[in-house]
Chains A and B, each alone.
Chain A
Amino acid sequence: MRDLAWFLPAWPLAFGDVALFGALLLAGLLGGELASRIVALPRVTGYVLVGVLFGPHALGLVQAPLLTGARVFVDLALGLIVFELGHRLDFAWLARNRWLALAAAGESLGCFFAIYAGMLYFDQPPLLSACAAAIGTATSPAVVTVLAHELRASGQITERMLLFTAVNCTFAYVALMLFMPLVHLQNETSGRSAILHPLYLLTGSALLGLAGSLLLLFIAKWIGKREDRQFILLVALVVLVVGVARALNLPVVAALLTFGMLVRNLDNEHALLPLRFGDASQLLFVVLFVLTGASLDFSGLETVAAVTAVFVVVRFLGKALSILALGRLSGLRAGGAGLLSLSLLPMSGLAVVMINDTAAIYPRFGAELAAVVLSAVAVLELLGPLATQFALKHAGEAHPEA
């Protein structure tokens, strides 16, 4: 009998990444449907909840090693999203509407200083507070872009939500890298690497983004205005830049943000057709949210509940301040500023990635940072999409049938 069983697999079964991807997709789909049918939550929230349920802190079906293995999906999904977001950062609009530029800058700065002050008030160390504030300034690119797609939203609030998110993510990355030398010094690295490392990260991701955009525009010009071919080109280069960024130890998100931004603003000859990521990219997004959910950690929430609450509240106030002050001047209709502020609430995968990046270099500092920020992420991962959906629907910018 035994020699007849040579064709049967060994037990326990070894499922690879492909099976994992399929399982996450299926679970996410079902979770999203349940969330939207039963309690009218955004589907995104359903994906996240499925992740939480399967994650190490609940059922434990998805464990840490799996999460590391799935990092490639996260990178690809975030890569596509952040590229699209960077592509919405229209410098010409900011130049034409100075109040808007001021509001966008004020939103990032206001949010940063609000969180920073809030953290200091709770006796957190200044450097930790500054890093947490930088990370907290970023709105979740994944939630806003995926919700905008899902609701088929279009209008001033939607456009500005995407623009402000692109600005505050860029701000967050640059700020975090500027604080890096201090983190290095605090952790007693040599002075030289304290300067060289952040310099490498900043210029490296900027140059990679620039190289990607020049290559994309060059090839796009050569193949011409063919939608199907340009789509392949786009995906190919986004995935390539993600891969190269990882190989070079560069922050994937920063490189892709630069890539998207430069493609939009360097395309003087209009070689590229309007971007349209098809339904295929939705697949990656579902998996992204399930994995983000699985990596959420509510365990620390009880001990840092007060800090988390303050973090969430001052973050919102910091964002709202300049938007409310400059909204009308920048051309928003009555009531628009409040909705825009609300739409910028989500915080998610990007923050997790930023903390992981930091923790990869300085585990101890990373852990401290995680304790403070991840609880806020956990809360805003669930509240954020609700706020954004509410804002876009009330602005009348969601498709009536979406």
Chain B
Amino acid sequence: MEFARSKSLSLGIELELQLVRAHDRDLAHEAGDLIERLAKIEVPGAVKPEVTLSMIELNSSVQEDFTGALAELEAQRAAVAESAGLLNLGVCGGGAHPFHDWAERRVYPAERFKAVMQRYGYLAKQFTVFGQHIHLGCTGGDEAVYLTHVLTRYLPHFIALSAASPFYQGEDTQFQSSRLTSVSAFPLSGHMPFVADWAAFVEYFETMRGYGIVEGMKDFYWDIRPKPEYGTIEIRVCDTPLTVRRAALLAGYAQALAAWLLEERRLAPSRAVYQVNAFNRFEACRYGYLGQLVDPHSRSKKAIGEDILDTAAAVMPQAARLGCVEAVRELADDVQLGRSDAGWLRARLTATGSLADVVRESAARWSEPGASARL
């Protein structure tokens, strides 16, 4: 398996979005209509179907930096919001629809998704959750393996910064991000094995393929996975934020963090990170910034929010060079003030008294031109 080389730290963003009906704010089944409509107009990047008819996925083109990524996302948002409006559909960010009934989901009529339904049964419909994936360009397979290992320690940052799924099936889950729990149900979820380099990874992959467990990289639902076709690694733990601006901020932060990790090379890949990973991941999903993060490198434990602030300060030189100081600073400010999308959703429920209203306001917020990631 060849690892396609890309420009180091180039960016790519995938956003899964919710389509909601106007009359009751429940999930719609109209992805096909919207995608057909969008195919007729000029939209940068790509718009793709996902496993159920209630979701669409926006793919960016390869971007150099935060500013470019934001501009493209904004153009995509404008096109999607306009077309959705013609069909009387709302488009929302957020990691999960607050009150939809998963059994009501309908699988997108394409062979690929029918096969997923065939294989995974109800898990396929329950997988109507909405995530953001961030691609970071790597110059080679070894670099991809290294970054995957060392970024794992920072996964709780991305979970806490993007958390936007406090409600599920009509209930407050008490989690900041309930979405990741539905990913964990899949047999090939989790993380990449602790391999030393690309050659070792290829060996592992071939073994799994030999058993007939996987056919391609797409079958691994890992939190971070190398994507050899694109020459990237893909961070997959983020909930889709409520605004495209926040999606761009997260990509900017990922870029600065990866640049810092590659330049400093202070962290050696460590098996210990994977031993504590499940705990850290749970803390981030459950408590967001207030969760605890165990750092096996320093053998210490601190609040995830505090760790984000320390990291943000450390990566500033790289952020300055890459043009994403604004992104890192804005996210750090949110951490300082305890602001998150999950918090906003809960506040709107308190203010309006119904989850249908929360969905309505969330759709209005996503569609607003140049919506601030602030609240």
Contacts and interface: CB of A to CB of B under 8 A. Distances in A.
Interface of A: 87-88, 90, 92-93, 96-97, 100, 154-156, 159, 224-225, 270, 273-276, 330-334, 336, 396-397, 399-400
B354 A225 contact: yes
B353 A90 contact: no
A193 B278 CA distance: 81
B236 interface: no
Contact of A97 (B25, B36, B85, B354): B85
Contacts of B30: 155-156
Interface stretch (B16-24, B204-212, B316-324, B331-339): B16-24
Nearest to B37: A331
Given A93-B88, A96-B86, A155-B29, 9 more contacts: A154-B29, A155-B28, A155-B33, A225-B357, A274-B356, A275-B24, A396-B32, A399-B104, A399-B106
Given A155-B29, A224-B353, A225-B352, A331 B21 contact: no
Contact of B33 (A90, A156, A399, A400): A156
Nearest to B109: A396
Contacts of A333: 32-33, 36-37
Interface string B212-252: 00000000000000000000000000000000000000000
Contacts of B28: 154-155
A154 B25 CA distance: 13
Nearest to A97: B86
A146 to B, nearest CB: 17
Interface string B51-86: 000000000000000000000000000000001011
Contact of B87 (A88, A273, A331): A331
Given A154-B21, A331-B83, A270 B106 contact: no
A159 B352 contact: no
B353 to A, nearest CB: 4
Contacts of A331: 33, 37, 83, 86-87
A90 B23 contact: yes
A159 B88 contact: yes
Contact of A156 (B83, B87, B354, B356): B87
Contacts of A88: 23
A358 B33 CA distance: 43
Contacts of A156: 30, 33, 87
A270 B26 CA distance: 16
Contacts of A275: 23-24
A224 B353 CA distance: 8
A328 to B, nearest CB: 9
Given A331-B37, A400-B106, A273 B354 contact: yes
B86 A273 contact: no
Contacts, number: 66
B22 A90 contact: yes
Closest 10 CB pairs of A and B: A274-B24, A225-B353, A225-B354, A93-B88, A331-B86, A97-B86, A96-B85, A333-B36, A156-B33, A333-B33
Interface string B1-32: 00000000000000000000111111011101
A88 B36 CA distance: 24
B360 interface: yes
Contacts of B88: 90, 93, 96-97, 159
B350 to A, nearest CB: 12
Contacts of B354: 225, 273
The residue among A87, A90, A331 with the most chain B CB atoms within 10 A of its own CB is A331
23 contacts: A87-B23, A90-B22, A92-B22, A93-B22, A93-B88, A97-B86, A97-B88, A154-B29, A155-B28, A155-B33, A156-B33, A159-B23, A224-B353, A225-B353, A225-B354, A273-B356, A274-B23, A274-B25, A274-B26, A331-B87, A333-B32, A334-B36, A396-B32
Contacts of B36: 333-334
A275 B23 CA distance: 8
Interface string B23-51: 11110111011001100000000000000
The residue among B22, B23, B24, B106 with the most chain A CB atoms within 10 A of its own CB is B23
Interface string B353-375: 11011001000000000000000
Interface in B95-153: 104, 106, 109
Contacts of A100: 86
Nearest to B21: A154
B87 to A, nearest CB: 5
A36 to B, nearest CB: 22
A210 B86 CA distance: 28
A90 B87 CA distance: 12
Nearest to A334: B36
Contacts of B109: 396
Contacts of B352: 225, 270
A152 B364 CA distance: 27
Contacts of A90: 22-23, 88
Contacts of B33: 155-156, 331-333, 336
A276 B25 CA distance: 13
Nearest to B87: A331
A276 B354 CA distance: 15
Nearest to A88: B23
The residue among A88, A273, A334 with the most chain B CB atoms within 10 A of its own CB is A273
A97 B209 CA distance: 50
A224 B30 CA distance: 31
Contacts of B37: 331, 333
Given A93-B88, A225-B352, A397 B22 contact: no
Contacts of B356: 273-274
B86 A270 contact: no
Contacts of A274: 23-26, 356
A316 B372 CA distance: 49
Contacts of A334: 36
A334 to B, nearest CB: 8
A154 B232 CA distance: 39
Contacts of A332: 33
